[in-house]
Structure 1
Amino acid sequence: MRGEHCIAGATILSAVAIILLIFAHIGQVGSGALVNGIHFMEVNVAAYGNGYQGANNKSASGLYDSKNDALGSGKGLRQYYRYGIYNACAYQKDGSGICNSSTFAYPAEPLSQILADTPDKFTTETRNVIKNIDPEPTFGQDGYNHAMTRGGSALIFIGSVLAALALIFGIIKLRISFLAAAICSGVGAFLLMIGAALWTAVIAKDNFVNTVKVRSGASLGINVYAGPSLYLTWVAFALVTLSCAPYVIACCTYRK
């Protein structure tokens, strides 16, 4: 009975982890109410208009878009930019928003994506105010952000697939299946950990921009925050890790 009890516990842990990972994956696949609050990272530029005025002593009138025009068209900033594994979406204060087309392991490049929405007359000053921060934050380094977030998302996807395979193998009552489940859960947990760590590192470094003051003494008004998907992934990693040991015990004790 020991093996059966172990498998029951591992199955529950794996199933809960898969549910959490599903939610992490569906964030930002659209701008609807179910998924618009689920994301790995948010860049909040709602207060950047004040920061722009303080840094350049110029009016920020026209800096923001209020019509949900296509992203990257230079029609104006949105207040909130949110990043998921497959998409980036941008939202107004009223909750309405628009998303980019889906791409596997969508790379977060916050500065270039913000500049793509910034109207031409604000673009040079916006780029300069960030590039001239000393020390320059990784927020403005597209290559770093691209590689880290794309790599992190790809690893989380593979880790999620392996976690699902562990659940499938775990319900097949054969020792070889339990061994396969243990291997899948162990490798899956490792990949989830690395993927989540990459996203965590990006957010931890990019949110240096949260502390930046412009020459007027006001905040720059750009803030980077971790989102629910990151926390869901870390919890799923812990659950998948815990499920590995019961699969190993079941493999060693099951008689078929």
Structure 2
Amino acid sequence: MRGEICLGSASLLCFISLMLLIFVHVGQTNTGSVARGIAMVSINMTGYLQAMEAGTGDPAPGLFTNNATAPLWQGLGLRQEYLWGFYGHCAYTNLSHGLGICSNKTFGAKFTPFDVMLGDTPPRYNVFTQFIVPTTTFKDSGYLGTFYNAAFWLIFIATLAMAVSLVTGVIKNTWTFGTAAFFSIIATLCILIGASIFTAIISKTSAINTYKLPPTASSPGAPLGILVSTGKGVYMLWAAFALMLISIFPYTVSWVTFRR
């Protein structure tokens, strides 16, 4: 009975972890209530209009669009919020009501916020946008895209490893228990590294949150108005990591003590 409890607890922990990762994979695949609520990183652009007007000293009509379904990457106007998932990003004119549109899906999409920003910025504001946004990690699309993609692959591998661990862990055999323990360790390590990468690049990107425009005669230095924040998906990854880390012990005990 003790062995069954031990194995059952490991399987339950692994199952919950797998469900968490599946939900993370669903994040930002569409604008539905579940998918739009889960993201790896979000960028709020609502204050950028004031920064543009403060920097130029003139109104900036058309910088943002109120058309929630306007195509992305066409210079038709920025959206209020941008959220990234594993397979692309979605842009919202009203996030709480799900008014937005998602990019084309790519297996292992890259996080390139400045490129996305320029793609939606109307052409007449492009030059000033490149000037006004500081040369920080936010602008380094090569760095962000590479590490974001690498972290995705680690989480994808972890998802597969969890599935193998969950399936083999319910078959009562010494070798299958050993396989479950091995893949639970692989999954845990992959989540740890992947979640750490996501956390690190988002933290570095969020340095733009405190940036202010250089003071001018007409403006004392307005905030840039671009706010980067960690999405729920990252916290879900860390929760999955904690559960898988705990599951290693009962899986290993089942493997070592079971004899058949």
Q: TM-score, normalised to structure 1's length? A: 0.96
Q: CA deviation at 1:4?
A: 1.9
Which residue of structure 2 aligns with residue 86 of structure 1? 87
Unmatched tracts of structure 1, length 5 or more: none
Q: Which amino acid counterpart does residue 125 of structure 1 have in structure 2?
A: F
Alignment of 1:9-88 (within 5 A): 9-67=9-67, 68-88=69-89
Cα deviation for residue 41 of structure 1 reads: 0.3
Q: What is the CA-CA distance between 1:160 and the residue it aligns to?
A: 1.1
Residue identity opposite 2:148 in structure 1: T
Partner SS, residue 92 of structure 1 = strand
SS in 1 for 2:101: strand
How many pairs are equivalent?
252
Structure 2: tracts of 5 or more residues without a match: none
Please give the per-residue CA displacement for 1:52-78, whole angstroms capped at 9, x wherever unaligned: 112222212110112221110100001
**Letter of the structure 1 residue corresponding to residue 149 of structure 2:** R
* Structure 1 stretch displaced more, 92-101 or 175-184: 92-101
Counterpart of 1:235?
A: 239
Aligned to 2:179: 180
Which amino acid in 2 is paired with 1:50? Q
Rounded Cα–Cα distance in structure 1 between residues aligned with 2:4 and 2:58: 70
Is the Cα–Cα contact under 8 Å of residues 49 and 63 in structure 1 kept in the other structure? Answer: yes
Residue 97 of structure 1: aligned partner: 100
Write the letter of the residue equivalent to 2:231. G
Range that drifts further, 141-150 or 49-58:
49-58
Q: Whole-Å Cα distance in 2 between the matches of residues 63 and 95 of structure 1?
A: 21
**Alpha-carbon distance in 2 for matches of 1:13, 1:161:** 15
Q: What's the CA shift for 1:51? A: 1.0
- Is the contact between residue 174 and residue 259 of structure 2 (CA under 8 Å) also seen in structure 1? yes
Q: Does 1:122 align with 2:122?
A: no
Identity of aligned residues (%): 37
Alignment of 1:174-253 (within 5 A): 174-214=173-213, 215=215, 216=219, 217-253=221-257
Contact persistence 2:20–2:240 (CA under 8 A): yes
Please give the per-residue CA displacement for 1:138-182, whole angstroms capped at 9, x wherever unaligned: 001000110011111111111111111111111011110010001
Query: C-alpha distance in 2, partners of 1:53/1:245?
Result: 58
**Structure 1 residue matching 2:33: 3-state secondary structure:** coil
Equivalent position SS for 1:81? strand
Which residue identity is paired with 1:87? Answer: G
CA deviations over 1:66-103 (Å, ceiling 9, x no partner): 22211101000011110001121100125301011111
- Cα contact 1:2–1:253 (8 A) shared by 2: no
Report the more deviating stretch, 143-152 or 90-99. 90-99
Deviation at 1:3, TM superposition (A): 2.5
